[in-house]
Copies of this chain bind each other. A is one copy, B any other.
Amino acid sequence: MNYRKAKKEDMSAVHHLVQVLADYEKEGDAVNVDPKYYERCFEEKVFQVIVAEDQERIVGMVLYYMNFSTWKGKMMYLEDFVVLPEYRNQGVGSKLWEMWLKDSKAQGAKMVKWQVLDWNAEAIKFYERQGATIEKQWWNGKIIF
């Protein structure tokens, strides 16, 4: 398995990974943006990606970007953390996680942040093993244009 920062040319594989997982979750129609859009945003540095590659096939990734806490300073936000089902439980997720933490520190983040669904006990267990704090008192607000 090869781990590296993604390039613009990887965006259609990254998008494919997102689509495969959305289909798997029976949410295939929820992906409203296409690979070209990913490429444009990637070039604008809206987000960064580390990929896991098995013989040139991208089978996992972490997608993240820098946020800012007015109290704590720079914090890296993990938006998406995907490993294809057939590649799970082989250490791919742990390695991606570790590389993401390392890259976040290198970019000056003072903390890292992400979200997890309340029913996702397996993921929560993983995060707690990593020494994470899980906060339950924040609700998300959103408006879709």
- Contact of B143 with A115 in the complex, beta carbons under 8 Å: no
- Contact of A67 with B41 in the complex, beta carbons under 8 Å: no
- Contact of A139 with B113 in the complex, beta carbons under 8 Å: no
Q: Mark A97-139, 1 if CB is under 8 A from B, else 0.
A: 0000100110001111111111100001001001111111111
- Contact of B22 with A145 in the complex, beta carbons under 8 Å: no
**Residues of A34-89 whose CB lies within 8 A of B:** 37, 41, 46-47, 63, 65-75, 77, 79-80
Instruction: Knowing A31-B71, A67-B77, A70-B79, say if A138 contacts B140 (CB, 8 Å).
Output: yes
Query: Roughly how many angstroms separate A15 CA and B68 CA in the complex, as a whole number?
Result: 13
- Contact of B143 with A71 in the complex, beta carbons under 8 Å: no
A90 at the interface (CB under 8 A from B): no
- Contact of A127 with B145 in the complex, beta carbons under 8 Å: no
Query: Roughly how many angstroms separate A104 CA and B118 CA in the complex, as a whole number?
Result: 29
Question: Which chain B residues lie closer than 8 Å to A75 at the CB level?
Answer: 142
Interface centre among A37, A112, A115 (most CB of B within 10 A): A115
Residue from the list B73, B139, B144 in contact with A118, Cβ < 8 A: B139
A33 at the interface (CB under 8 A from B): yes
Distance between A132 CB and nearest chain B CB, rounded to angstroms: 5
Q: Which residues of A does B touch, CB under 8 Å?
A: 15, 18, 22, 27, 30-33, 37, 41, 46-47, 63, 65-75, 77, 79-80, 101, 104-105, 109-119, 124, 127, 130-145
